[in-house]
Structure 1
Amino acid sequence: MAVFTAVTLDDLTQWMEQFPLGQAVALQGIASGIENSNFFLTTERGEYVLTVFENLDFDQLPFYVHLMRHLAERGIPVPAPVANAAGDLVVALHGKPAAIVSKLEGSSQMDPQPVHCAAMGAMLARMHLAALDFPLHQPNLRGLDWWQATMPQVLPYLSPGNAELLRSEVAFQAAFAAGETYPQLQRGPVHADLFRNNVMFVGERLTGCFDFYFAGVDAWLFDLAVTVNDWCIDLASGALDTARVDALLDAYRAVRPFTGAEEASWQPMLRAAALRFWLSRLYDFYVPRAAEMLTPHDPTHFERILRDRIATPAPRLAHQE
């Protein structure tokens, strides 16, 4: 959520007339994140978030915004997209796709405890089940195909040791995806980026999750691994914290029990989730785009996590028949 496209209140004077929100009275750029231009938008009717999409086009965006609406209609706490007078959820602003969504209550819990991880696990399982009947389909655009295409762009910048780590892990994941177990994994729409800064709390109550613009159809276990790799770790070392892992997995399992194929795939999927964000951070660090308020994330954080997931046996998912 950086700012690549500058937007002012004057730009919104006429543009806002198509929405049932009244006039814009305040606009503030959001500095965190790295993909789109995001703003806190205050109108005569309330508080919202305005997103101008920098990479996704008008043909790709229906999957994301309609998934959010689908989940919201089924009681999952996510931002609800606001339609304009013509019923469109995505409209042009400065020649780029843009959308307005409701602003969630609360703030991100950047030091999650087991109680927060349990709330996260339960909501993630409910989200997966709620999206099962979502009619649109789009693959995870940051999956194996993207890893294989992006790796050559960052290899020239890496030390020999890190280059070998990247090559070997992409090869490992390609072999895992081609094996017998991977096709047996439960699949459906996933968020694919459920870091702690994309979830809101009021005290210990989870009030919602947002930033669905990496969503796609993938293994539910990948979504869970991405979440565990951020919520349940020691930030300094990247090692998993047992109490938080247990709280998140127990709460998820209480809503949707795991399968045998998922238990067998847990360690490879934790590695896949670490690889995905190490590679994307390497790309953003070494092949950056110009943007206001943009600070690329440190790639070494997910290098540490990936090395730990390779070296350390994964906690069991406690498969139940």
Structure 2
Amino acid sequence: MAVFTPVTLDDLSSWMKQFPLGKALAIKGIASGIENSNFFLTTESGEYVLTIFENLNFEQLPFYLKLMRHLADRGILVPAPVANDNGELVVSLHGKPAAIVSKLEGRSQMTPVPLHCAEVGAMLAKMHLAGQDFPMYQANLRSLDWWHETTPKVMPFLSDELKHLLCAEVHFQDAFDSTAIYRALPRGPIHADLFRNNVMFEGDRLTGFFDFYFAGCDTWIFDVAVTVNDWCIEVATGELDVERVRALLKAYHEIRPFTNDESVAWKPMLRAAALRFWLSRLYDYYQPRDAEMLTPHDPAHFERILRLRESFPVPPLTCDV
């Protein structure tokens, strides 16, 4: 976990007065995440999550929090942000932007089977449809422009083989981004980081998606690819589990049918999703920031996934296979 900005109950004694939640009774760092400082917060009115944002600024954050509020109001199972007495969702704590959201029930399902993947696929499709009329726009901040900006920062640390792999994949994605097929892909707000540890279950019942702070407007099929590359793989190898892939895609397709263009884009988007997280893990590994409890993820995991998605066939989007 990353706790870049420690918070104590004494820090919250006056700060909490602006929220309709009563006094803070306990606070504890959350053992996940590497971008923000996250805490379980117990108040007189219940359990919440407090986040201090280490990279996003006051201008960027309303997109994420208002998107969560928009989705929650439409029945999507996501944390609901709590406004202060002035109606503000983003407030300052220790000079940094901070927010409080409701805490979801359950726990992360780290060993999913096809049933769990189907639940995730169905809710992801519902989320995409519910976000269609969200009025705000913000690009996916970890997409192609960021890949170009970040690649030179990690190149000095890589072997010649890895330099070639990274440059070749960025070039491939540049070329695909310029095609008519890519431009025709359905898009809207996406989660962009829907890994196993960002979804809660009670038994086999999905209770919510959380951690929307990589969300942005991008292609829906990229969001599906990010999700499949985590939920539907054998972790030790990165290989796709066909049964889990089929379960997730079928459940998604039944709610929001895939288009022909998305079928063509499917393998390139699986590659793009692998590249995005390989590159971010390379950056976090070689350009670390100071933080309590921070252990960067192993970049080699998504390097393996990228190589596999480049070299081997993937289950198609059609749900009749």
Inter-partner Cα distance in structure 2 for 1:115 and 1:43: 35
Query: Which residue of structure 2 aligns with residue 152 of structure 1?
Result: 152
The one-letter code of the counterpart of 2:180 is E
Equivalent residue runs for 1:302-317 within 5 Å: 302-317=302-317
CA contact under 8 A between 1:258 and 1:319: conserved in structure 2?
A: no
| SS of equivalent to 2:180 | coil
The one-letter code of the counterpart of 1:23 is K
Query: Which residue of structure 2 aligns with residue 216 of structure 1?
Result: 216
Inter-partner Cα distance in structure 2 for 1:316 and 1:43: 47
Return the offset for 1:208: 0.2
Equivalent residue runs for 1:103-142 within 5 Å: 103-142=103-142
Inter-partner Cα distance in structure 2 for 1:2 and 1:27: 15
Query: Which residue of structure 2 aligns with residue 62 of structure 1?
Result: 62
Inter-partner Cα distance in structure 2 for 1:180 and 1:74: 32
CA contact under 8 A between 1:4 and 1:54: conserved in structure 2?
A: yes
Query: Which residue of structure 1 aligns with residue 184 of structure 2?
Result: 184
Inter-partner Cα distance in structure 2 for 1:257 and 1:319: 10
Q: Is 1:248–2:260 an aligned residue pair?
A: no
Instruction: Give the % identical residues.
Output: 71
| SS of equivalent to 1:181 | helix
Return the offset for 1:31: 2.7
Inter-partner Cα distance in structure 1 for 2:33 and 2:88: 26
Alpha-carbon displacement from aligned partner over 1:275-302 (angstroms, at most 9, x marks no partner) = 0000000000000110011100000000
Return the offset for 1:319: 7.4
Inter-partner Cα distance in structure 2 for 1:205 and 1:293: 31
| SS of equivalent to 1:207 | strand
Inter-partner Cα distance in structure 2 for 1:117 and 1:31: 23
CA contact under 8 A between 2:250 and 2:319: conserved in structure 1?
A: no
Return the offset for 1:150: 0.3
Inter-partner Cα distance in structure 1 for 2:261 and 2:39: 42
Query: Which residue of structure 2 aligns with residue 206 of structure 1?
Result: 206
Inter-partner Cα distance in structure 2 for 1:31 and 1:258: 36
Alpha-carbon displacement from aligned partner over 1:20-61 (angstroms, at most 9, x marks no partner) = 000000000113111000000000100000000000010000
Query: Which residue of structure 1 aligns with residue 40 of structure 2?
Result: 40
CA contact under 8 A between 1:109 and 1:196: conserved in structure 2?
A: yes
CA contact under 8 A between 2:4 and 2:292: conserved in structure 1?
A: yes
Query: Which residue of structure 2 aligns with residue 10 of structure 1?
Result: 10
Inter-partner Cα distance in structure 1 for 2:93 and 2:71: 26
| SS of equivalent to 2:79 | coil
**Structure 1: 5+ residue runs without aligned partners?**
none
Q: Is 1:171–2:199 an aligned residue pair?
A: no
TM-score by structure 2 length?
A: 0.99
How many residues get paired? 320
Could you list the structure 1 runs, at least 4 aligned residues long, displaced by more than 2 angstroms after superposition. none
| SS of equivalent to 2:59 | coil
**Structure 2: 5+ residue runs without aligned partners?**
none
Query: Which residue of structure 1 aligns with residue 49 of structure 2?
Result: 49
Return the offset for 1:318: 1.0
